[in-house]
Amino acid sequence: MLNSVTDALRADLTSKLPAAAFRELTEAYLREPRGRYKGADGFLVAPDCTQDVATVVRACSDAGVGIIPYGGGTGLVGGQVMESGPTPVILSLERMTKIRDVFPKENVLVAEAGVILASVQEAADAVDRLFPLSLASEGSARIGGNLSTNAGGVNVLRYGNARDLCLGVEAVMPDGSILNGLSRLRKNNTGYDLRHLLVGAEGTLGVITAASLKLFPKPAGEGAALMAVPDPQAAIDLLALAGDLLGHQVSGFELINRMGLTFLAEVGPEVRAPFDDPPEWMVLIDVGCVAGLDPAQALERLFEAGAERDLVTDGVIAQSGAQRDAFWNIRESIPEANRRIGSVSSHDISVPVGRIPEFISRAQQAIARVDDFRINCFGHVGDGNLHFNIFPVIGNSRADHDHQRSDVKRILHDLAADMEGSISAEHGIGRLKVADLNRYSDPIKLATMRTIKAALDPKGIMNPGAVISA
Quick one: CA dihedral 297, 329, 110, 201, positive or negative?
negative
Binding to a second copy in span 311-350, by CB under 8 A: 350
Residues sharing a CB contact under 8 Å with residue 447, sequence separation 6 or more, in sequence order: none
Stretch that binds a second copy, among 20-28, 117-125, 241-249, 313-321 (CB under 8 A): 241-249
Spell out, one character per residue from 217 to 236, where the chain touches a second copy: x when CB under 8 A holds, - when not.
x-xx---------------x
Q: Do residues 99 and 123 touch, judged by C-beta distance below 8 A?
A: yes
Residues sharing a CB contact under 8 Å with residue 332, sequence separation 6 or more, in sequence order: 136
Least distance (Å) between residue 431 CB and a second copy: 13
Nearer to a second copy, 316 or 353 (CB): 353
Binding to a second copy in span 58-97, by CB under 8 A: none
Least distance (Å) between residue 450 CB and a second copy: 10
Q: Reply yes or no: is the peptide bond before residue 88 cis, omega within 30 of 0.
A: no
189 contacts a second copy (rule: CB under 8 A):
yes
What is the C-alpha radius of gyration for the chain, rounded to an integer number of angstroms?
A: 23
21, 22, 83, 413 from 52: Cα distances, Å = 9, 12, 26, 41
292 contacts a second copy (rule: CB under 8 A):
yes
Binding to a second copy in span 406-465, by CB under 8 A: 420-429, 433, 437, 440-442, 444-449, 451-452, 454-456
Spell out, one character per residue from 198 to 217, where the chain touches a second copy: x when CB under 8 A holds, - when not.
-xxx---x----------xx
Least distance (Å) between residue 195 CB and a second copy: 8
Least distance (Å) between residue 402 CB and a second copy: 26
Nearer to a second copy, 4 or 177 (CB): 177
Q: Figure out which of the listed residues 85, 230, 243, 357 binds a second copy, where binding follows CB under 8 A.
A: 243
Spell out, one character per residue from 245 to 284, where the chain touches a second copy: x when CB under 8 A holds, - when not.
xxxxx-----------------------------------
CA distance 141 to 136: 9
Stretch that binds a second copy, among 152-160, 269-277, 322-330, 391-399 (CB under 8 A): 152-160
Q: Residue count at the site for a second copy (CB under 8 A)?
A: 95
Least distance (Å) between residue 106 CB and a second copy: 5
* Nearest residue to 170 via CA among 216, 119, 111: 111
Least distance (Å) between residue 78 CB and a second copy: 14
Least distance (Å) between residue 356 CB and a second copy: 10
Q: Figure out which of the listed residues 1, 28, 105, 272 binds a second copy, where binding follows CB under 8 A.
A: 105
Binding to a second copy in span 169-188, by CB under 8 A: 173, 177-181, 183-188
33 contacts a second copy (rule: CB under 8 A):
no
Q: Figure out which of the listed residues 152, 278, 279, 306 binds a second copy, where binding follows CB under 8 A.
A: 152
108 contacts a second copy (rule: CB under 8 A):
yes
CA distance 376 to 334: 9
Least distance (Å) between residue 312 CB and a second copy: 17
Nearer to a second copy, 208 or 261 (CB): 208
Nearer to a second copy, 297 or 320 (CB): 297
Residues sharing a CB contact under 8 Å with residue 283, sequence separation 6 or more, in sequence order: 226, 227, 229, 235, 238, 239, 253, 254, 255, 256, 381
* Nearest residue to 214 via CA among 186, 189, 194, 193: 186
Q: Figure out which of the listed residues 7, 26, 35, 191 binds a second copy, where binding follows CB under 8 A.
A: 191
What region does 300 belong to: left with phi over 0, alpha with psi -120 to 50, or beta? alpha
